[in-house]
Amino acid sequence: MRIDILTILPDLLISPFSDSIMKRAQTKGHLELEIHNIRDYSTNKHHKVDDAQYGGGAGMVMSIEPIALLIEKLKSERHYDEIIFMTPDGELLEQETSNSLSLYQNIIILCGHYKGIDERIREKYITKEISIGSYVLSGGELGAAVLVDSIVRLIPGVLNDETSALTDSFQDGLLSPPVYTRPPEYNGMKVPEVLLSGDFGKIEAWRELKAMERTKERRPDLLDGK
């Protein structure tokens, strides 16, 4: 899968993809990640990428031209399945969104800043708008990192243990059950006996029960309609 991220702050996106699973996904060839600096496409001699908004009001607006030039260039090179804009007024990111995006070949993610982007970009190019939560970030970069991470770990072959993405919280509509590792007892706190029993039928039943209990307690909304 190829993901192109369009940003005015490319440095913000270096570290989230330089470690662990995201790094391995790239070295193993599952992810081709290209980070583009929108500023490089400004025709303005000061490389300006924003301007005051028409009608007045506080905050600058990202200009149409550099973003349009960059998107047109990318679109002339390959077909994109989705051009996503990270914005607090987009649809809330859910596991299902990441599941379906992970099936695509090429996507563009545009990170907004300031007061927003010229609406004509949204009208002409954007096919999907995503928010990572009901709060306002300083820009779309951290949201884009969250989105890409949630997509890439679903690409077959990215995780070592193929089943572990399937047992993630949300993947079956439930939160994950508690997990434990050695030692079996720490300062009087014991690992539940059933997990040490070696009886995999019982262990599975216990995990299902705990996942259901945890979901009921913390996210009863996930059980609506179940």
Nearer to ligand ADE, 13 or 86 (CB): 86
CB 140 within 8 A of CB 87: yes
**The binder of ligand ADE chosen from 74, 86, 117, 145 (CB under 6 A):** 86
Q: Near ligand ADE by CB under 6 A, which window of 3-11, 55-63, 80-88, 116-124?
A: 80-88
* 87 interacts with ligand ADE by CB under 6 A: yes
Name the H helices within 133-199.
141-152, 193-196
* 137 interacts with ligand ADE by CB under 6 A: yes
Q: Near ligand ADE by CB under 6 A, which window of 29-37, 114-122, 133-141, 173-181?
A: 133-141
* 131 interacts with ligand ADE by CB under 6 A: yes
Q: How deeply is 214 buried, as exposed, middle or buried, from its count of CB atoms within 10 A (0-12, 13-18, 19+)?
A: middle
Do strands 189-190 and 185-186 pair parallel, antiparallel, or not at all (unpaired)? antiparallel
Nearer to ligand ADE, 87 or 150 (CB): 87
CB 104 within 8 A of CB 81: yes
Q: Least distance from C-beta 102 to ligand ADE, angstroms? A: 19
**The binder of ligand ADE chosen from 66, 116, 143, 177 (CB under 6 A):** 143
DSSP 28-75: TTS-EEEEEEGGGG--STT---EEEPTT--SSEEE-HHHHHHHHHHHH
Nearer to ligand ADE, 31 or 147 (CB): 147
Q: Among 135, 89, 131, which Cα is nearest to 109's?
A: 131
Contact residues: ligand ADE, CB under 6 A: 86-88, 112, 131-133, 135-137, 140, 143
